[in-house]
């Protein structure tokens, strides 16, 4: 019989078929535990919990794989960019040594000493920061000042430069990705100003954005993007691609992080760093002279 309340009617009779009154007997059959409402409730709750933890575990595994893949891609891009930067150094060092030799042969020891001092400081900073993924903004500005000063001395009156920083920015406590500005300044000098007949000018502007990010503008008055005199090198395009990939790995959601504008004459490069790409820190390592 199925679980529940059942009723049995009984009555007694004699041989002469005389029957007495009927009697109702109530029989209650309790269901087994696996057919009770509380068992269904507990089973449903356990099933929901198991499904929840299963989905959560799968999402965690998927996120771990994505993070591992992202970390691997970031390491690859960083290694490629470091390799690219190391390829720039011999060329720059060779030209710098030639400049020092020129100052000595021209009997201008003060210029040679000034150039050599700045060159030594720049090389020390370059070596100390070569393996770092990020750099304090103050140190990056100082490194660019050394680099632009050396190039200005080497090219004499061919170029001038300026660096302006938003006064709202605390350059001592902000870190930005390493080696993302200098390649564009080098491109402005070598592929913009040098082919031009005008006196070159490079302006670097660093501004704060309303979204707690940074906007970096590199402007020159060179031959511009569309001028055939501007030499497009494989190294230039590869460096731009590596910087773009690296910034996208830091924040895949950002749009227009790297744009180029033809000013005719001149070029403006805009680097947009979101809040995810920069770090606010209170530590500033001392810079050795």
pLDDT of residue 90: 66
Q: Report the alpha-carbon distance of residue 266 to residue 220 in Å, rounded.
A: 5
pLDDT of residue 65: 86
pLDDT of residue 84: 57
Give, in words, the CATH class of 68-280: alpha beta
pTM higher than the cut 0.85: no
Least confident of 53-57, 126-130, 150-154: 126-130
> Where residue 146 falls among pLDDT bands split at 50, 70, 90?
very high
State the average pLDDT over residues 45-71.
88
If we measure between CA atoms, which residue out of 192, 122, 121, 117 comes closest to residue 158?
Answer: 192
Q: Report the alpha-carbon distance of residue 222 to residue 116 in Å, rounded.
A: 28
Q: Report the alpha-carbon distance of residue 278 to residue 134 in Å, rounded.
A: 8
Strand, helix or coil at 58?
helix
pLDDT of residue 169: 92
> Where residue 140 falls among pLDDT bands split at 50, 70, 90?
very high
State the average pLDDT over residues 124-135.
80
The DSSP call for residue 19 is B
Residue 30 has pLDDT above 90, yes or no: no
Q: Report the alpha-carbon distance of residue 255 to residue 261 in Å, rounded.
A: 16
Domain ranges of the chain: 4-51, 68-280
pLDDT tens digits along 242-271 = 788 888 888 888 888 899 998 878 899 999
Strand, helix or coil at 112?
helix
| Helices 137-154 + 109-129 axis angle, to 10 | 150
Q: Which pairing describes strands 4-10 and 23-29: parallel, antiparallel, or unpaired?
A: antiparallel
pLDDT of residue 75: 73
């Amino acid at each position: 019989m199925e679980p529940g309340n059942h009723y049995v009617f009984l009555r007694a009779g004699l041989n002469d078929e005389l029957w007495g009154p009927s009697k109702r007997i109530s029989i209650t059959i309790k269901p087994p535990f696996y057919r009770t409402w509380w068992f269904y409730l507990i089973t449903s709750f356990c099933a929901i919990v198991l499904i929840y933890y299963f989905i959560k575990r799968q999402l965690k595994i998927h996120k771990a794989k994505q993070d591992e893949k992202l970390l691997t891609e970031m390491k690859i891009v960083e290694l490629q960019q470091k390799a690219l930067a190391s390829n720039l150094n011999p060329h720059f060092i060779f030209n710098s040594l030639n400049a020092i030799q020129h100052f000595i042969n021209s009997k201008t020891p003060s210029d040679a000493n000034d150039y050599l001092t700045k060159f030594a400081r720049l090389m020390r900073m370059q070596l100390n920061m070569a393996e770092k993924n990020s750099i304090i903004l103050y140190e990056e500005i100082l490194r660019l000042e050394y680099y632009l000063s050396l190039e200005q001395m080497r090219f004499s009156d061919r170029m001038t430069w300026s660096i302006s920083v938003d006064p709202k920015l605390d350059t001592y406590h902000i870190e930005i990705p390493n080696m993302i500005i200098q390649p564009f300044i080098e491109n402005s000098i070598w592929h913009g100003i040098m082919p031009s007949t005008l006196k070159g000018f490079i302006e670097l502007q660093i501004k704060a954005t309303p979204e707690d990010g940074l906007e970096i503008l590199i402007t020159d008055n060179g031959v511009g993007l569309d001028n055939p005199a501007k030499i497009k090198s494989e190294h230039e395009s590869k460096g731009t691609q590596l910087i773009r990939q690296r910034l996208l790995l830091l924040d895949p959601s950002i749009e227009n992080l790297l744009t180029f504008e033809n000013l005719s004459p001149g070029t403006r490069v805009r680097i947009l760093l979101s809040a995810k790409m920069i770090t606010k820190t209170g530590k500033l390592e001392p810079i050795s002279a």
